[in-house]
Amino acid sequence: MMTGTLITVAATGAEADKARVPALPVTLAELTETAVACQAAGAAVIHVHIRDDEAKPTLDVARLKDAVAALRAETDMIVQLSTGGAVTDSFSSRLAVLDAEPDGCSLTCGTVNFGDDVFANPWGFVKDLYQLTKERGVVPEFELFDFGHIGSLHRLLREFGPPVGGHVHCDLVMGVPGGMPGDVATLTAAVQALPDGATWSATGIGRTTLPVLFGALAAGGHARVGMEDTTTFAKGRPVTSNAELVQRAARAAELAQRPPMTPSQARAFLGIPVR
Ligand code: KMH
Ligand code: ZN
């Protein structure tokens, strides 16, 4: 059954450099301003990475708590904190993200080469994080960068049961150098391998953004967009705001006759309680 479209905005990420990408939201004021604009444009979930006073990525729990509080005060969006952080973050600091009591969190299901770096998610960490989401009542979104991650997701559900809220929602992160490619053939194969009953979003990094967006809409999936994943709107044209990426995705979703879900529709869809 075709539903409306869940649009997630991944507004900042841990990789883009504020000096090179001035439109990147890095302060709390910039993050909340972006969130307000993105909600108005059709986003229901915000995937959050924060930065320190030097605009470098941080997992400082006090700052994360401030970000959660500010986003809740200014928007109705589902606040999903990244537990991926930056490739340099320790496993303990990534687990401590849940101390900030978000609605949801990302949970990457395996290790992947990440450009010249390695984004480390060994099984022991994945299962510890999953069990912690259950203890804390945080709804995970399963981030899948490659096919092996789908196998680990099946194992996680088999060994530890369903997530908080009872519903499995995945995000295919495609086109990372080192992960699965961002094309429609790969998207189709990945979707077929997901657990029965799972719903899914997809995002394509960089120039794979548009094929993955249109492929996901055509296949009944949902969309993640944002400056974490692409800082180029079109060839030679930098993104000027997260909201313009959300607007483009919302327009595509409307053309597909699957208009954006509101935050409250998204909460029901993802099994996230209303605050
Ligand atoms: N920044 C990447 C190393 C997540 O947010 O959960 C990992 C990442 C995934 O962005
Ligand atoms: Zn992220």
Q: Please provide the DSSP assignment of 133-176 as one string.
A: HHHHT-EEEEEESSHHHHHHHHHHHHHH-PPTTS--EEEEEE--
As a whole number of angstroms, the distance between CA 77 and CA 57 comes to 22
The model's pLDDT over 26-70, given as tens digits with 9 standing for 90+, comes to 999 999 999 999 999 999 999 999 999 999 999 999 999 999 999
The model's pLDDT over 113-158, given as tens digits with 9 standing for 90+, comes to 999 999 999 999 999 999 999 999 999 999 999 999 999 999 999 9
Question: What band does 194 get if pLDDT is binned at 50, 70 and 90?
Answer: very high
Question: Tokens 């000096």 appear where?
Answer: 19
| Nearest ligand for residue 16 CA | 1
Nearest ligand 1 atom, CA 106: 6
Nearest ligand 1 atom, CA 82: 5
Whether residue 5 has its Cβ less than 6 Å from ligand 1: no
Tokens standing for residue 145: 């960068």
Q: Say if pTM beats, i.e. exceeds, 0.85.
A: yes
Which residue's CA is the closest to the ligand 1 atom numbered 7?
A: 84
How far is the centre of ligand 2, averaged over its atoms, from the C-alpha of 153 (Å)? Answer: 18
Dihedral (CA of 183, 82, 242, 23) sign: negative
Which residue's CA is the closest to the ligand 1 atom numbered 6?
A: 84
- Residues pairing with 143 in the sheet: 108, 171
For a substitution probing ligand 1, which of 80, 121, 143 has the most ligand atoms within 8 Å of its CB? 143
The model's pLDDT over 69-101, given as tens digits with 9 standing for 90+, comes to 999 999 999 999 999 999 999 999 999 999 999
Q: Where are the alpha helices (DSSP H) in 161-275?
A: 184-192, 209-218, 242-255, 263-270
pLDDT of 273 = 84
Question: What band does 217 get if pLDDT is binned at 50, 70 and 90?
Answer: very high
Whether residue 84 has its Cβ less than 6 Å from ligand 1: yes
Question: What band does 208 get if pLDDT is binned at 50, 70 and 90?
Answer: very high
pLDDT of 1 = 54
* DSSP-derived pairing of the beta strands 117-119 and 139-144: unpaired
| pLDDT reading at 181 higher than 80 | yes
The model's pLDDT over 264-275, given as tens digits with 9 standing for 90+, comes to 999 999 999 887
Nearest ligand 1 atom, CA 228: 10
Q: Which of 100, 154, 92, 101 is nearest to 128 (CA)?
A: 92
**Mean pLDDT of all residues in 231-240:** 98
Whether residue 119 has its Cβ less than 6 Å from ligand 1: yes
Q: What is the CA radius of gyration of the chain?
A: 17
